[in-house]
Structure 1
Amino acid sequence: MQPTKSVVADIGGTNARFAWLDAAGQPFGVKVLPVRDYLGIAEAFLAFTGGVPVEQASVAVACPVNEDLIKLTNSPWVFSKSATKERLALARFDVINDFTAQALALPRLTGADIVPVGPAMPVRATEPLAVVGPGTGLGVGGLLPIGPGRWVPISGEGGHVSFGPVDALEREVLSRLSQRYDRVSTERILSGAGLVLLHQTLEEIEGRPDDGLTDAAAITAAGLAADGPARATLLRFLAILGSVAGDVALTLGATGGTFIGGGITPRLLPLVPESQLLSRFHDKGRVGRMLKDAPLNVVVAPWAALHGAAARLDHPAPG
């Protein structure tokens, strides 16, 4: 397949994913580059293209994008949008928030790209949509319909809102974390590092000895393999995620559907049926009825943000 002169990228705290666009505007030839192996985005971009001329690029990054200077939240990369555009000799260089890209990807998802939580319900594309995703950090985005096939993405840093416990155990988790941090954001718990922190805090609360599980992958593997403390951590993580997803859906009025993206939740799918993910999504007191018929899905498409970055190029260049 011959590439066009367009490149899309999804830059996270751990990996940078690059792809070419084909003539139909679809990503292909995805290559994953470890962020730690490159000085910055320009070096990674040039390593991907291998000297092939590029005219335009759309890059999704895990941080705010309002200013010219981009500082990734969970990565050492810092770059100027204008200087990078000039260095790479691009006619167009769009930089969008990674969950703006996740939101823009939603209309492109097919049935094979999502797994319903609870009963499968059709996504209502004429109503607002929301996406939440724990990974290296916690991303939040939304999409508002403005006409047939036309959308406006909602950008923000919703993962950094304050954590809101809903029961005694979560209040104790918050109390203990508040002794360590000036402010406890939701991302502090709903992320890869947050999963480890949650597991360690639950050990402390329950008076259990340290089980030596010091990274998210190890906790996930142990929790999926057998019942025990690691599984209890994963189930609590999913319960908190359900509450947060419901909060985002209420905030955005996302009656069309809520999607859970990111790299963590797809790995936890075997535990979803026994978790409180769906019940906590619905448990919103007097306004819970609003979400009763709202679809909740887990995104399993591996390159959703790349499709969203590609969708950004379907629109006129900003400014």
Structure 2
Amino acid sequence: MTVISPSSFLVADIGGTNARFAIADADGQGRPTLAAIRELRASEYPTLAAAAGDYLASLGTERPRTGVFAVASPVTSDAIRFTNSPWSFSVRALQTELALEALVLINDFAAVAHAVANLRRDDVRAIGVDTTTLAGDGGDGHYVVLGPGTGLGVGALARRGGVSIVIETEGGHVGFAPGNAYELKLLEALWRDHPRISAERLLSGQGLLNLYRAVCAVDGEPASVDTPEQISRQAAAAPESACGRSVALFCELLGAFAGDAVLMHGAWGGVYLAGGITQKLLPWIERGGFRGRFESKGRFETLMKRVPVLAITHPQPGLLGAAARGLLARPDR
């Protein structure tokens, strides 16, 4: 049974596919800690309140009094509607239903940005150029956090005097920019089914399937698989197949997008890559064209070669970031 102390609070990381919950607190150094972590399939619950209620019931009679939820949605009002999920809710109504004294909502990649300053060396893996300095080491700097999952999340982070300043964005919905003639053909193929092609339309779970179908259409091959999981499995078995070429191109496009995000935000301190797909495709990202497309920015190529990219390997960066955000509200912080 999890012990709920007066300082403990509920944290959640709610995406389009999974709903993750935990009890958060601080250790002796004031760093966020997580306990009683549980991951639920969003499709198995009619509402977020039902999923959260199931989690709280598993804790027993003790309940946290406050909560911080990270959600895959813009957080601009009391009404929250998920971008890649049928769930929607009122923040005030959810707080009442869960019997919480306070409930803070933040964007899911804002949570990842809050987590960045709490990551240790063994929580990250360098893609290309390494760095001896992490965002949490005390210096000032600008960073971008991004990553593909059910959608494509993007957030920005400024560190000033040991304090994290997080900027929530919906950067995954900027328009896709082809980088060569072949990618222009892919864009034209995608236009047949979608009036606007965002980066997320290609750089997400469903995006991998969209990309694969476009590759098949342009290359004159039949599309024989129907899910991102099938594409990944076939790519591993046959790297030269349409699936393999699609996964390799996915990683190249992710690198190009990450490089553009650095330029847009002046994130010379580096990029932190998150998202479930990042973990699954990390070997492809490391050995493929990700880094080349990341650096290939014309007159800024020399500068981009010095910008580190760190893949987050911490198992729960969203929950960790929600916990870090919750600690900021404490009177002693």
CA distance, structure 2, for counterparts of residue 310 and residue 253 of structure 1: 27
Contact 2:72 2:108 in 1 (8 A): yes
Contact 1:132 1:261 in 2 (8 A): yes
Q: Which amino acid aligns with 1:28?
A: A
Contact 1:3 1:23 in 2 (8 A): no
Give 1:272 deviation, angstroms. 2.6
CA distance, structure 1, for counterparts of residue 273 and residue 260 of structure 2: 13
Query: Is the partner of 1:129 in helix, strand or coil?
Result: strand
Match of 2:236 among 219, 224, 232: 224
Query: Is the partner of 1:187 in helix, strand or coil?
Result: coil
Match of 1:111 among 90, 101, 121: 121
Q: What residue is the counterpart of 1:249 in the other structure?
A: 262
What TM-score, normalized to structure 2? 0.91
Q: Does 1:38 align with 2:45?
A: yes
Count of residues in Structure 1 that have an aligned counterpart in Structure 2:
315
Contact 1:2 1:22 in 2 (8 A): no
Q: What residue is the counterpart of 2:15 in the other structure?
A: 12
Query: Is the partner of 1:188 in helix, strand or coil?
Result: coil
Q: Which amino acid aligns with 1:37?
A: E
Contact 2:117 2:164 in 1 (8 A): no
Q: What residue is the counterpart of 1:21 in the other structure?
A: 24
Give 1:105 deviation, angstroms. 0.6
The 5-angstrom pairing of residues 1-319 of structure 1 reads 2-4=3-5, 5-24=8-27, 25-50=32-57, 52-123=62-133, 125=135, 126-147=140-161, 149-211=162-224, 213-227=225-239, 228-316=241-329
CA distance, structure 2, for counterparts of residue 69 and residue 289 of structure 1: 45
Query: Is the partner of 1:101 in helix, strand or coil?
Result: helix
Alpha-carbon deviations, 1:194-219, whole Å to 9, x = none? 101100110111111222x2111111
Give 1:13 deviation, angstroms. 0.5
Contact 1:238 1:272 in 2 (8 A): yes
Give 1:124 deviation, angstroms. 5.1
Unaligned runs of 5+ in 1: none
After TM superposition, what 4+ stretches of structure 1 lie above 4 angstroms from structure 2?
none
Give 1:23 deviation, angstroms. 4.6
CA distance, structure 2, for counterparts of residue 123 and residue 248 of structure 1: 20
CA distance, structure 2, for counterparts of residue 23 and residue 139 of structure 1: 27
Query: Is the partner of 2:67 in helix, strand or coil?
Result: strand
Query: Is the partner of 2:179 in helix, strand or coil?
Result: coil
Alpha-carbon deviations, 1:232-258, whole Å to 9, x = none? 111100000000000111111111110
CA distance, structure 2, for counterparts of residue 137 and residue 273 of structure 1: 21
CA distance, structure 2, for counterparts of residue 52 and residue 46 of structure 1: 13
Distance 1:46 1:52, change over 3 A: farther
Query: Is the partner of 2:23 in helix, strand or coil?
Result: strand
CA distance, structure 2, for counterparts of residue 9 and residue 113 of structure 1: 20
Query: Is the partner of 1:65 in helix, strand or coil?
Result: coil
Query: Is the partner of 1:128 in helix, strand or coil?
Result: strand
Give 1:274 deviation, angstroms. 3.3
Give 1:53 deviation, angstroms. 2.1
CA distance, structure 2, for counterparts of residue 123 and residue 130 of structure 1: 15
Q: Which amino acid aligns with 1:231?
A: G
Query: Is the partner of 2:99 in helix, strand or coil?
Result: coil
RMSD: 1.5
Query: Is the partner of 1:27 in helix, strand or coil?
Result: strand
Unaligned runs of 5+ in 2: none
CA distance, structure 2, for counterparts of residue 164 and residue 266 of structure 1: 24
What TM-score, normalized to structure 1? 0.95
Contact 2:24 2:34 in 1 (8 A): yes
CA distance, structure 1, for counterparts of residue 4 and residue 198 of structure 2: 41
